[in-house]
Amino acid sequence: MSSRHPESRIVITGLGGICALGTNAEAIWHAMREGRCGIGPIENAELHEVKIRVGAEIKALPDHGIEHKRLVTMDRFSLLAVIAAGEALAQAGLSVNAGNAHRMGAVVGVGVCGWEAIEESYRSILVDGKNRIGIFSVPRCMPGAPAGQISMVHGLTGPVFGVTSACASANHAIAAAVDQLRLGRADVMLAGGTDAPLIYGILKGWEALRVLAPDTCRPFSADRQGLVLGEGAGIVVLERLEHAEARGAPILAELAGVGLSADAADIVAPTLEGPVRAMRACLEDAGLSPDAVDYINAHGTGTKANDRLETEAIKQVFGPHAEKLSVSSTKSMHGHCLGASGAIELIACVNAVREGVIPPTIGFRERDPECDLDVTPNKARERPVRAAVSNSFAFGGTNAVVAVKEFS
């Protein structure tokens, strides 16, 4: 019978990531520090009918050692998640065995699903005239597949499930993983998000929404024209502090708190009140006063409405301290990776706390009076970061905010 640990401190002991900026968390962070842009032309010949063919694409996958019989059961979003999870587990120094596997689990957020398998199926039937599709089409495309694949590849038999809440999926997955640890259902949880949306059907859908930038993503800049989609995955290893200390784990930072809310308003248009509630709930859960936060990794998609409303929400939550905050949107570098965004952005927050460096908002060209916070334009800045907040605000009006702080 499990014991509850509602007051247990949760720490981060491993980071894993893959996106257009790099094929591991360290490479991603170095690219962020340098203000490197991963956005460019998408190298997919099948996208010839897509008007905007700009994205943050992973040009080559690293050697992952996954055997072929498992690869054929995976869509790209699952493979990216498994790669990131392997890196995170290795950094955490965790060995999964028969004695501890049942106390280790995974929660992975996705914004869409295995669309590669779906498009292959439609092409087989409607274009090639076949009367059957691939035998693994269903397990490849289901939204819970990345979490299940991580559990099978790494032998985790504790709580394992997927969550999906559009662009807030990764932060919701992290919040759900924290719950499992606080409830005593697990000692270790892998959490994060993954998505691979640079596919014809998904891009045509986003094209119809008329929110895609034609060239690059310029969050908070007055001349911003919209978001740029990217692909990637990010996974963190979360542990109860006492468990991490007992095994001598490397503690990278403390997962201080989470905050969730819903706008209950419009399926696509954001509100001011929902993000405000989520940020306040996160600070309360973390036991942080507004003036204890030094950095906010903004949702910062580069759309006119989102950036303006997020600026106002930050001002409402942080009051006069908002003028002293460092804010940035790393989506300007790795694109909007949908369900993976929050997890990739958590890599930025953890390292900002550890190294005292604020990653920049690149592509910034012109100040917007309605986005008048310090958005760290174009160049990283050094400053002490006691605590950092990561915002994710999604279609459907679902908001999830995560706070990390220096471990002491």
User: What is the per-residue pLDDT across 326-352, written as a single tens digit (0 to 9) for each?
Assistant: 999 999 999 999 999 999 999 999 999
What's the pLDDT tens digit per position in 263-310?
999 999 999 999 999 999 999 999 999 999 999 999 999 999 999 999
Which residue, of 195, 225, 246, is where some domain finishes?
A: 246
The domain tally of the chain equals 2
Residue 55 above 90 pLDDT? yes
Would you say residue 1 lies in a domain? no
For 308, half-sphere exposure in the C-beta direction (CA atoms, 13 angstrom radius) is 13
Would you say residue 5 lies in a domain? no
Same domain, 77 and 208: yes
pLDDT score for 2? 46
pLDDT score for 277? 98
Do residues 348 and 359 touch, judged by C-beta distance below 8 A?
yes
The pTM (predicted TM-score) of the whole model is: 0.96
Our answer to whether residue 336 is catalytic in this structure is yes
Mean pLDDT calculated for residue range 142-170: 97
Residue 36 above 70 pLDDT? yes
pLDDT band at 123; cut points 50, 70, 90: confident
Catalytic residue among 19, 336, 337, 349: 336
Same domain, 269 and 213: no
Would you say residue 2 lies in a domain? no
For position 213, which CATH number holds? 3.40.47.10
pLDDT score for 4? 60
Same domain, 110 and 209: yes
Same domain, 152 and 262: no
pLDDT score for 127? 86
Backbone angles phi, psi at 91, to 5 degrees: -65, -35
What's the pLDDT tens digit per position in 393-404?
999 999 999 999
Same domain, 222 and 331: no
Would you say residue 252 lies in a domain? no
The DSSP code sequence of 252-265 is -EEEEEEEEEE--S
Would you say residue 129 lies in a domain? yes
Same domain, 163 and 215: yes
pLDDT band at 1; cut points 50, 70, 90: very low
Classified as helix, coil or strand, 370 is coil
Same domain, 329 and 393: yes
Cα–Cα distance measured from residue 83 to residue 18, given in angstroms and rounded to the nearest whole number: 8
Catalytic residue among 19, 37, 113, 167: 167
- The DSSP symbol for 95 reads -
Would you say residue 251 lies in a domain? no
Our answer to whether residue 30 is catalytic in this structure is no
Structural domain boundaries enclosing 321: 257-405
pLDDT score for 3? 56
Q: What pairing do the DSSP bridges indicate for beta strands 104-110 and 160-163?
A: parallel
Catalytic residue among 5, 154, 299, 334: 299
Same domain, 129 and 237: yes
